Structure 1
Amino acid sequence: MLTVLALWPFYQFLWFVFFLTMFLIGFWCIFMFFGVVIPMWLTQGLAEYFGKTKPFDPEDIRRRTVVEQGAEVIYSNPKGEGPFIHHDHH
């Protein structure tokens, strides 16, 4: 019993760190929901619902390659020496 009581301040500190972490994560979730998700629903979501935009088609994205979707693949055109993950000759 004496050993557990000797460690009490450390456990108190651990609970404080846990509480602080959960507090910050909770506020981040609230901020993202009201600052990002709801505005997204009120802009793109309602615009698509009322037919102002082209409906989202997941097959349209599946058919295109990563480069065709507009992403820059850094290792597709390597410069310099060394072993590279990707080579263009397949």
Structure 2
Amino acid sequence: MLTILSSFWPFYQFLWTVYFVIMFLIGFWCIFMFFGFIIPLWLTSGLMEYFGKTKPFDPEDVRRKTLPEQGAEIIFSNPKGNGPFLHTDHGHH
């Protein structure tokens, strides 16, 4: 049994090498992002917001606007009847 498993050793060594290289790159990406983006963000925008140098956050600025708020005219906003896709009776088909 051991000889059968040992015959797969080069392929497993290749898989672990690929895994190690990928994890190595991901780790360096995390380090570079933390020191190159996150910490400067804390030291600029974060401290400005903490000390009140920016305008107060308004959730309406980032809320997804509905279609009428975007200026679109909704033609079929209140359909009437018993069509196949209206589901007014909340029952089964």
> TM-score range with shorter-chain normalisation?
0.5 to 0.7
1: distance between equivalents of 2:35 and 2:49? 20
Structure with bigger gyration radius: 2
Q: Which amino acid aligns with 1:48?
A: E
Name the structure with the higher helix share: 1
Partner of 1:62, secondary structure, is coil
Q: CA deviation at 1:63?
A: 6.0
The answer to whether the aligner puts 1:40 opposite 2:36 as a matched pair is: no
> Which residue of the partner structure matches residue 13 of structure 2?
12
Instruction: Choose between structure 1 and 2 for higher RCO, CA contacts under 8 A separated by at least 6 residues.
Output: 1
- Per the alignment, residue 28 of structure 2 pairs with 27
- After TM superposition, the runs of 4+ consecutive aligned structure 1 residues lying more than 4 A away are none
Per the alignment, do residues 33 and 5 of structure 1 end up closer, same or farther by CA in structure 2, a change over 3 Å counting?
Answer: same
TM-score normalised by L of structure 2 = 0.64
Q: CA-atom RMSD, angstroms?
A: 2.1
TM-score normalised by the chain length of structure 1: 0.66
Percentage of identical aligned residues: 69
Deviations 1:49-68 (A, max 9, x none): 11111122223321646xxx
Q: Secondary structure at the match of 1:53?
A: coil
Residues 19-76 of structure 1: CA distance to partner in whole angstroms, max 9, x if unpaired? 11111001101100110011001000101111111122223321646xxxxxxxxxxx
Q: Which runs of 5+ in 2 are unaligned?
A: 67-71, 75-93
Q: 1:49 to 1:64 in 2, by over 3 A?
A: farther
